[in-house]
Amino acid sequence: MELDVSDPAASSSNTRELAVLRDFYCEHTASKSRVLALVAHPDGPPSLKAVLTCRDAEQAQQAAEILRGVLGCGSPVAPELSTQVESVAREMSDAVAASFRQAIDFARTGGWLVVGDQLSWRPGKETEAALNSWRTRVEENTLGRLRGPVIRQVTFTEYLVTDPVAFYNSATSMGWCPSGPFPGVGLGAPLHLMEATDFLAAPAPDLPGAQVLGTGSSIDVLDPEIGDELADWSPSGFSVRFGPGWRFEDDPGGPGMSEEEWEQIVPLPDFAALFPLERACPDWQFTPRAAYVLHALLSVLGDEAHDVARSFGDEPLREEHKVHCTIFTELPETTWSQGYAWRRDVARAAADLAQDIACGRLPRPRCVAEQVTLDCALDMARGHAEGLAGVTPSYDRLPRHRDDDWGAIEEIFLDVGEPSDDGLPPLWDTPADQWFALFRGVTSRDKNRGYPEHWKLMDKPTM
């Protein structure tokens, strides 16, 4: 096997920019096979960049398919794909395996570093003038005046954004500039999600022997509160009206945001400072890494629970809602008939514990609702921590400690009482109207604390 040197950093005098990865391909000859990356750039046409060269065609195919899979799932990489990466890399020479692993890192983030002027091209004035003279002018765009047939193609796609950071990085590196500043809470502002989707999904509709007369698009964020549903699930038909489409100005900055820039937008608590480690202390300590994981999980649980409360209102839950209602359908069925106010207060119980951690306090439950949400977070914590390690720099930077042991953490925070007759964890069978009654010996929270500010952005104003 031989390495195909394709590192754009070879010329250190040139500026490297982040291009967007679109796909991976294989090229085969009688003597060798190559894996190529298709990258897109705002200043020129898409380009192929060499990834690696080997003599085994099947191995090249495997590498390309794995790279496609990583590009599709983003970060963190699915465990099955990570296993395949190592299996294929072991069969490669050291140099080729190094190129393969570097390409995996690029695929995970959806970007590829290139020398800035390698992909740049702007048509000259003469070329632009020639193209403009050939194009049909706006005032001629009527069927009666056009001399050839006109074909209209309507496309429809629903996207689930699984990695907002990679999603926004791809859009900004291609030249998208958001219409306003990012909100200080969360990365899922509907306007920016729609803008970035419209920008990234815009087709390149130039066809040989045809010219574009006009394009249209219709875009929205689906909202179950007003009856929206996925196309395959929709109980009734739906129609789409295509307007003139959205246009955005190029972002001269080029590359996407670094993790540090994202953390300035959505700052994380300084867990290392909030929970400083005493290395010589023989007693158990709540570590920065444990704080990071539980804060993240409790915050997500609170937001998801609030979203369910908002979407379902006072509607009782049923078995078929299990795919939508996350935490609430995991609770005893005796709670499924509870309404909006009860569900929203369960959401706030998770948010209160997350806020405790953000303020440097241990997440000690003060009522059944808080204990239940903490139980749920602890149930996911071990797997979540394993998924963060090695792929999340803000987590990896936190100091390690022997007390990062999730078995010990569960012993500290899980209720040690006996399970109920139905096999439920301790306290889960408490009647729903008593879930917010204070435990003995604890102080109540501020009754005027309200709800997390960013929930207001998720709520629609009532008429």
Q: What integer is the mean pLDDT of 243-272?
A: 54
Contact 16, 44 (CB under 8 A): no
Cross-strand partners of 17: 114
Q: What integer is the mean pLDDT of 146-175?
A: 74
Supply the Cα-derived Rg of the chain in whole angstroms.
27
Instruction: Return d(Cα 354, Cα 376) in angstroms, integer.
Output: 13
Q: Rank 167-176, 199-208, 211-220 by mean pLDDT and report only the highest.
A: 167-176
Amino acid identity of residue 18, one-letter, is L
Instruction: Return d(Cα 298, Cα 219) in angstroms, integer.
Output: 31
Instruction: Return d(Cα 22, Cα 36) in angstroms, integer.
Output: 11
Q: What confidence tens digit (pLDDT) does each residue in 331-341 have?
A: 888 898 999 99
pLDDT class of 278 with cuts at 50, 70, 90: confident
pLDDT at res. 359: 93
Q: What confidence tens digit (pLDDT) does each residue in 420-434 have?
A: 556 567 788 889 899
Q: What integer is the mean pLDDT of 135-161?
A: 68
Q: What confidence tens digit (pLDDT) does each residue in 85-131 have?
A: 999 999 999 999 999 999 998 888 887 877 766 666 767 777 777 76
pLDDT at res. 213: 66
Closest to 430 (Cα-Cα) out of 348, 350, 375: 375
Contact 169, 242 (CB under 8 A): no
User: Any idea which of 199-208, 284-293, 336-345 has the lowest mean pLDDT?
Assistant: 199-208
Instruction: Return d(Cα 140, Cα 77) in angstroms, integer.
Output: 51
Closest to 4 (Cα-Cα) out of 53, 55, 57: 53
User: Any idea which of 36-50, 184-198, 284-298, 445-459 has the lowest mean pLDDT?
Assistant: 184-198
Residues 6+ apart with CB under 8 A from 206: 212
Residue 385, pLDDT above cutoff 90: no
pLDDT at res. 142: 62
Residue predicted with more confidence, 156 or 302: 302
**Which strands form 111-115's sheet, in the order they lie side by side?**
44-54, 33-41, 16-28, 111-115
pLDDT at res. 451: 84
pLDDT class of 209 with cuts at 50, 70, 90: low
Residue 349, pLDDT above cutoff 90: yes
Contact 404, 287 (CB under 8 A): yes
Residue 373, pLDDT above cutoff 50: yes
Task: Calculate the CA dihedral of residues 257, 259, 260, 261 and round it to 10 degrees.
Answer: 30
pLDDT class of 318 with cuts at 50, 70, 90: confident
Q: Count the residues in the chain.
A: 463
Q: What percent of the chain has pLDDT over 90?
A: 23
pLDDT at res. 264: 56
Cα angle, residue 440 at apex, residues 437 and 442 outer, rounded to 5°: 85
Cα angle, residue 348 at apex, residues 457 and 269 outer, rounded to 5°: 75
**CA separation (Å) from 149 to 17, 212, 216, 444?**
42, 12, 19, 73
